[in-house]
Amino acid sequence: MTFIDTIKSSIYDPFFYSQLSRTPFKQSLRYFLKLSLLLTCLATLFYGAFLLPPLINFLSEQNLSRLISKFPSDLTITLKNGVVSTNSIEPRFIDLPISLKTEGINHFIVIDTSTPVSLETFEEYKSFIWVTRNSLVIKDDDRITIDPLSDMPNIVINQNSLVSLTNSVKPYFKYLPFILLPLLSAFILIGYIFYLAYLLLLSILIIIIAKSIKKFSLSFKDAYKIGLHALTLGLLIDIFIIIIPGFAGGIPFLLTAITLVVVFFNIKPPLPLIVNNPEQKPPSI
């Protein structure tokens, strides 16, 4: 049976599932790993096409120059021993490009090292980030976090230092796709491998379905093998549903529900094994 045939049978083929108890465990595990590699390639292509063009555009020389120009030419920020100081009258705002502004947010950074941290003041500043005397106050969706700067190295930030930093790392930007794509693939593949642990729990549900609904017993090993194949449809749907607007975050328990439905329609008591005995005499007529 080819790999494609096994995918089809894993989606629906009661006879195929009835024979799983007689096939080696490593055969089902090998199938799942091949499926994981296939889905990893598809996901990498999708996320690569989705993420790399904006990243390459962001790192373009023209865009970086435009972003650096947003940093005030007369401003110098000094971080020494975890304490921030500036050469400017505060509060000092660093504005976002207009295209990046969101409702209720007018600034990217506000620098105010003298005012005590308070939620009311942060809301008045309408900024993503507030640089205080010794911390960063960051607005993340509906959360606000305060990160101390005590562990940060001493640094001086001004327009010249940003230009110098950009020029020093610019030659390496062309290698980013060759670095990010393998890392992305490895991250996605590890996610699929974690389903092997998820199957430990799912196998118990498969045993319950077999015992309570289908009226036959399954060993844990056979239930696990069934799960390795029954995950196929859910994983295929999951890999394609992310391209549908509004479903990028996935649907809770969708994979579990689909897998259990596949199990319900495919499993049945194993067929009896008939062994022909060549020494047995044919019945007399």
For the segment 150-182, what is each residue's pLDDT rounded down to a tens digit?
888 999 999 999 889 888 888 888 788 788 889
Say if residue 150 is in the same domain as residue 193. no
Q: Quickly list DSSP for 124-165.
A: HHTEEEEE-SSEEEEEETTEEEEEE-TTSPPEEESHHHHHHH
Task: From 124, 157, 190, give the residue that closes a domain.
Answer: 157
- 171 occurs within a structural domain: no
pLDDT at position 285 = 39
The pLDDT-based confidence of 271 (bands split at 50, 70, 90) is: low
pLDDT at position 132 = 93
Whether pLDDT at 139 is above 50: yes
> For residue 194, how far is the Cα from the chain centroid?
12
pLDDT at position 70 = 80
Kindly report, residue by residue over 178-219, the tens digit of the pLDDT: 888 899 899 999 999 999 999 999 999 999 999 999 999 999
197 lies in which domain range? 3-52+177-266
Say if residue 193 is in the same domain as residue 124. no
Say if residue 197 is in the same domain as residue 129. no
Say if residue 152 is in the same domain as residue 181. no
Alpha-carbon span 128 to 121, nearest angstrom: 13
Say if residue 87 is in the same domain as residue 129. yes
- Encode 195-218: b = buried (16+ Cβ within 10 Å), e = exposed: beeebeebbeebbebbeeeeeeeb
Whether pLDDT at 72 is above 90: no
pLDDT at position 284 = 47
The pLDDT-based confidence of 60 (bands split at 50, 70, 90) is: confident
- 141 occurs within a structural domain: yes
In this predicted structure, which of 33-37, 219-223, 241-245, 259-263 has the lowest mean pLDDT? Answer: 241-245
Domains in the chain, number: 2
Say if residue 252 is in the same domain as residue 189. yes
- 196 occurs within a structural domain: yes
- 282 occurs within a structural domain: no
- 86 occurs within a structural domain: yes
- 37 occurs within a structural domain: yes
